[in-house]
Chain A
């Protein structure tokens, strides 16, 4: 069994079925890109994985254990296996770039101490660790800046550092560059590229086909709330099977 298994995931909003059977699998160290037209449930999939939406059917299995199955009791611990980077960053405007990273780290460390879980800080303070993550995304000079003083690309890099600092095992990106103009897209993609590591999986919802082709180990194409095709990028982009994927890819090519 793979590290992350999603089986027949179903999600309804009222009577509308948004996800009607998503299945995919991912190993640690792998990068999965989720592609598809707008409104096909890509974002909803990430929201379900991060427990922002309760699921209506199917299973999410991480490391052999089904999660979110017993209501809210263990949800917090399970949700923290995932990290999520939002399309529109959602930095906390009242805190500096450094504090945006330090505060969640500090609070989670407090909880870890209480529950006897392993520390995230390896002996350093939350502030020192936050500073390291800020340096990792190349923003060590901006630690005192407030989100309103940062460019979109810088905001997204802070948001990535903030998610990364909690050491999620599966880091999710929800169209991380869609709110950015093309000039700023590059710096964010560069950071994401540098995050590929053996002990962490990443799931990226993206419209950047070139980027998906280059960084992914697996690609999932969603259509009508289902995984229409799932496989290696060479298969998905090289020899698409379904008509839907073919027309989607040719449409994307026209745009480029």
Chain B
């Protein structure tokens, strides 16, 4: 088996990896913004709750969180996992990743939002902007610009973290590579997987630099 054969036989694994990656991003970015709002909430109990959430998500291993997500129906509600349906594993993977990444994104957003210039809020206020208009039209674009490098960092980490789904048996690319490696008694499948991960990361870095260019104003 040569490298291109191996890459071809990894295609379903790559597809799963891409799905986990894309879905996690789609859920965790908005969720992260919501968590950030919760963390910044003026009501102390709400803010404390989200603070706790963030500290647990950042303070325990992602792999362990995936286990928790997967086994939660059984341990919390006594529902046998067989009854959770075929797609439960995949749902648990996405939920685990999204909840974890939302915590990191929330802290990045928080840094961006709290460092916004007070004068921008005041200018918007005297021009009659509502709070929502001030946030979405004035502050958020500036936050976006400021947090893009940090967010890109996290997204690149996510590309590689998808391989953790292996731990609860989701057949993503790394799982597929490992199976193939033991079947063929070869290290080549690992090399193939590394190439794909690297290519995905390059893609993310490229997209991030495009975004940074689009947001070319200086804050």
Spell out A's residues near B (CB within 8 Å): 50-52, 76, 79-80, 82-84, 86, 88, 90-94, 103-104, 107-108, 111, 146-148, 162-163, 166
Q: How far is the CA of A76 from the CA of B138 in the complex (A)?
A: 18
Closest beta carbon of chain A to B141's beta carbon, Å: 4
B219 at the interface (CB under 8 A from A): yes
Check A86–B128 contact: CB distance below 8 A.
no
- A to B CB contacts below 8 Å, 23 in the list: A52-B125, A79-B125, A79-B126, A79-B128, A83-B126, A86-B119, A88-B119, A92-B120, A92-B123, A92-B124, A92-B137, A93-B142, A93-B219, A94-B217, A103-B137, A104-B127, A107-B128, A107-B133, A146-B217, A148-B217, A162-B127, A163-B127, A166-B127
B215 at the interface (CB under 8 A from A): yes
Closest beta carbon of chain A to B117's beta carbon, Å: 8
A103: B residues at CB distance < 8 A: 137
Check B128–A90 contact: CB distance below 8 A.
no
Closest beta carbon of chain A to B212's beta carbon, Å: 13
A51: B residues at CB distance < 8 A: 125
Q: How far is the CA of A166 from the CA of B130 in the complex (A)?
A: 15
Known contacts A52-B125, A82-B126, A104-B128; A90 and B120 CB within 8 A of each other: yes
Check B215–A80 contact: CB distance below 8 A.
no
User: Which residues, 111 to 143 on B, are CB-close (under 8 Å) to A?
Assistant: 117, 119-120, 122-130, 133, 137-138, 141-142
- Considering only CB atoms, which chain A residue lies closest to B141 in the complex? A94
Other-chain residue from A79, A94, A146 in contact with B142 (beta carbon distance below 8 A): A94
Other-chain residue from A52, A88, A93, A94 in contact with B126 (beta carbon distance below 8 A): A52
Residue among A51, A103, A162, A166 with the most chain B CB within 10 A?
A103
Known contacts A103-B137, A107-B129; A86 and B218 CB within 8 A of each other: no
Spell out B's residues near A (CB within 8 Å): 117, 119-120, 122-130, 133, 137-138, 141-142, 145, 215, 217-219
- Considering only CB atoms, which chain A residue lies closest to B125 in the complex? A52
Closest beta carbon of chain B to A40's beta carbon, Å: 21
Closest beta carbon of chain A to B135's beta carbon, Å: 13
B141: A residues at CB distance < 8 A: 94
Check B215–A90 contact: CB distance below 8 A.
no
Closest beta carbon of chain B to A244's beta carbon, Å: 30
B218: A residues at CB distance < 8 A: 93, 148
A86: B residues at CB distance < 8 A: 119, 122-123
Closest beta carbon of chain A to B131's beta carbon, Å: 11
A82: B residues at CB distance < 8 A: 126
Residue among A51, A79, A107 with the most chain B CB within 10 A?
A107
Other-chain residue from A52, A76, A111, A162 in contact with B122 (beta carbon distance below 8 A): A52
B124: A residues at CB distance < 8 A: 92
Closest beta carbon of chain B to A108's beta carbon, Å: 5
* Apart from the given pairs A79-B126, A88-B119, A147-B217, 15 other A-B contacts in the complex at a CB distance below 8 Å: A50-B126, A52-B122, A52-B126, A79-B125, A79-B128, A84-B126, A90-B122, A90-B123, A91-B123, A93-B218, A94-B145, A104-B128, A107-B128, A108-B127, A146-B217
Check B129–A104 contact: CB distance below 8 A.
yes
